[in-house]
Homo-oligomer: A and B are copies of this chain.
Amino acid sequence: MQRYNLCFLGFGNVGRALARLFGTKAAELAQLYGIDCRITGVATRRLGWLWNAEGFKLETLIAGNMDQANIQQARDLGEWLEKAQPAAVLETTSLNVETGQPAINYLRASLQAGAHAITANKGAVVYGYEELTDLARRVGKRFLFESTVLDSAPVFSLFRECLPAVRLRGFDGVFNSTTNVILEAMETGRTFAEGVKAAQELGVTETDPSHDVEGWDSTVKVCALATVLMKTSVRPSDVRREGIRALDAQTLRQARAEGRPFKLVSRAKVAADGSVSASVRPEQLSATDPLSCVRGTSLAVHFELDMMPGLTIMSHRPNLQSTAYGLLADFINAIRGS
């Protein structure tokens, strides 16, 4: 058995779900991988840089009770890492669409402090993939981010481990739950506003749904996938982006009745010269397109490979636990050297 200290940078819904997972999966982690974990650092904007070298009491931590013995406050990230001594930092701070900061700074510091850097932050991948991957290699640690696109359905680990020597020619996908729920609501006669409400009730969208509706969430995901899998830096400004606001209910209903529904499709393709073109826009799918099968909050990506005519991965009804699992899977893979 080997003991590992964990630091949680960010402790919102996903962070708490992940902490819970480390509890419920403790026996399997021990039995299957000889892993014994304790959380020695939790940092949030509100609480600051909290640490406890002996490990936080998990139950009270998840309940939000920070009134535990031996919790100390570090003055900054640097001291926090130094005191908490993490084997891995699990980073779940808010997305910054323009710079990926401060997540990138956090992850860089974590690697430099000798910890694996594991994140759910798409921005860190889009703007920091090359730098953080190089740094990770140099310090002998891992920079992993499975939860960033399909909420834990494997895509990055899939290519890394299961598809060696394959060339990715293109992909298309449905990457945003909110817009899919809105479109399906309008297909059944409800209004756009009612669709937004339905998505909010399902817990997949923010109070201001613009980020999803204008296609920004999908755009950042396309950039993350293309940057990593096509080995070409693709930024949001490179993506031809169009949200769903212009679609009218009548058109959507008619399309669905024909079995050829509209979806907000994220797409990227490698041209003959190796350059990458990417778009996020409403598209009407053919009846046989695997993406036409995506329902409700589910997500999917379809890959076109030189070695396979087509490979589709679908993640059904992703929830906080499945998103948290992506981070846990990354942690296990970092530790066991995958």
Contacts and interface: CB of A to CB of B under 8 A. Distances in A.
Contact of A259 (B152, B161, B259): B259
Contact of A154 (B163, B312, B319): B163
B316 A310 contact: yes
A308 interface: yes
A292 B290 contact: no
A95 to B, nearest CB: 22
Contacts of A300: 312
A117 interface: no
A170 to B, nearest CB: 13
A322 B309 contact: yes
A2 interface: no
Q: Determine chain A's interface SS by DSSP, over half rule.
A: mixed
Contacts of A293: 288, 290, 292-293
A153 B333 contact: no
Interface residues of A, number: 47
A161 B160 CA distance: 9
Interface in A184-241: none
A154 B308 CA distance: 11
A314 B308 CA distance: 11
A94 interface: no
A29 interface: yes
A310 B314 contact: yes
A162 interface: yes
A32 B329 contact: no
A246 interface: no
Interface in A140-180: 146, 152-154, 157-158, 161-166
A290 B162 CA distance: 23
A165 B311 CA distance: 24
Interface string A301-314: 00000011111111
B319 A309 contact: yes
A6 to B, nearest CB: 15
Nearest to A325: B307
Contacts of A288: 293, 295
Interface of A: 25, 28-29, 32-33, 146, 152-154, 157-158, 161-166, 259, 288, 290, 292-293, 295, 298, 300, 307-319, 321-322, 325, 328-329, 332-333, 336, 338
10 nearest CB pairs, A to B: A310-B316, A293-B293, A161-B161, A154-B162, A312-B314, A307-B325, A157-B162, A164-B332, A309-B317, A308-B322
10 contacts: A25-B165, A157-B162, A161-B161, A163-B329, A164-B332, A259-B259, A288-B293, A307-B321, A312-B316, A313-B313
